[in-house]
Chain A
Amino acid sequence: MAQRFQMDENMYHHLLGRLNELHQTDKRGLLKDFDFFHNDLWLADTAVVEELTRHKGEWQVNLVFAYTVNPMRFIRRQITSYSCPRKATLFSSLMRRLAAKDQRGTQEIRISSIFVCKN
């Protein structure tokens, strides 16, 4: 007889439970379910700064999204990495321009607004 994939009974029960949850979509939601939307509203007013760091022998492109009202509120996202530094510089600039595109014009922050503690 052909060998078939076997699953432990408890695990199967667990899997069926998760499948049940897939369809529980017609329940009334809570207002706090929209918190993620309010919490991320500041991201619409961010300036984009590219950053290159050396990581594991490659040049890693990061984009920093800083809030124009309070630049100390920012997030940093790792995008990609290149072995050639010139290529990394070129692409980081292109990626920044693409990410910073805004109908209101490019938003900027003054680097002096970011308070860096050098201790």
Chain B
Amino acid sequence: MQNTKEKILWASIKLFNEHGVANVRLQQIADEIGISVGNLAYHYRNKEAIVSSVYDILFEDFGHILSQYLQSPSFADFDRQILLYFEFFKTYQFYITDLFSMEHALPEIKAEWQLFMNKMILQIRTRIDFHINRGELVSETVQGTYNLISESIWMTIVFWIPQQTMRNKPVTETRFRSAVWNHLKPYLTQKGLDTFEFSLPVLSQN
């Protein structure tokens, strides 16, 4: 059972996704959960306080995903993390418009985003190193290739849902996972291919 504060936050997330953070008024949020603006103001003194609390939840969720790094030494581990990213970016779709808004009401949010994004790229790059050491990915022939691939994977994870929405294409988790794995597939060794087919049979058929 959600309390009023949680209801306000989840209604805000829903409205932010639909209309963008800048376009949502307190009255809309209050209407969404059927309370008065006065009651809403009792819990959150203004919209900035709501946005700040929404980002607190968002960053906590993101921190949780990052903490799932290499729980087990298999491709399935990365796949689990990819799925978590998919759920995350689907739940908080408003991030894309808000992230690129010219003047953000809370500049510390931008700084926090940058930190998280850099950590995410670093994780992807280190995970590639891990699989190279296990002989599942080929060693780098041209220096910097895997740095570029890490950034491409990151771009796919972060921007895949908005680009699919923009192109009016279906947003499904299998397509999302395939889009990410397709970056790595050409670099799999024979051992990597065998492991991939064994641990992720659904994706290896695509």
Residues of A within 8 A of B (CB): 1-2, 4, 6, 9, 12-13, 16-17, 19-20, 22-26
Contacts and interface: CB of A to CB of B under 8 A. Distances in A.
A2 B119 CA distance: 19
B1 interface: no
B173 interface: no
Contacts of B63: 4
A9 B130 contact: no
Interface stretch (B87-95, B104-112, B150-158): B104-112
B126 A13 contact: yes
B112 A20 contact: no
Given A20-B129, A20-B133, A24-B133, A13 B108 contact: no
Give the bracket for the number of chain B residues in contact with chain A: 20 to 34
Interface of B: 52, 55-56, 59, 63, 69-70, 72-73, 106, 108-109, 112, 115, 118-119, 122-123, 126, 129-130, 133-134
Contacts of B134: 24, 26
A20 to B, nearest CB: 4
A23 B108 CA distance: 36
Contacts of A17: 126, 129
Contacts, number: 42
A22 B134 CA distance: 12
B70 A20 contact: yes
Nearest to A2: B56
A13 B55 contact: no
Contacts of B52: 1
Nearest to A19: B70
Contacts of A24: 133-134
Contacts of A4: 59, 63, 112
B79 to A, nearest CB: 16
B118 A1 contact: no
Contacts of B129: 17, 20
A68 to B, nearest CB: 45
B115 A6 contact: yes
B73 A19 contact: no
Counting chain B CB atoms within 10 Å of each CB, the highest count among A2, A16, A25, A26 belongs to A16
B151 to A, nearest CB: 15
A9 B118 contact: yes
B177 to A, nearest CB: 22
Contacts of B115: 6
A16 B133 contact: no
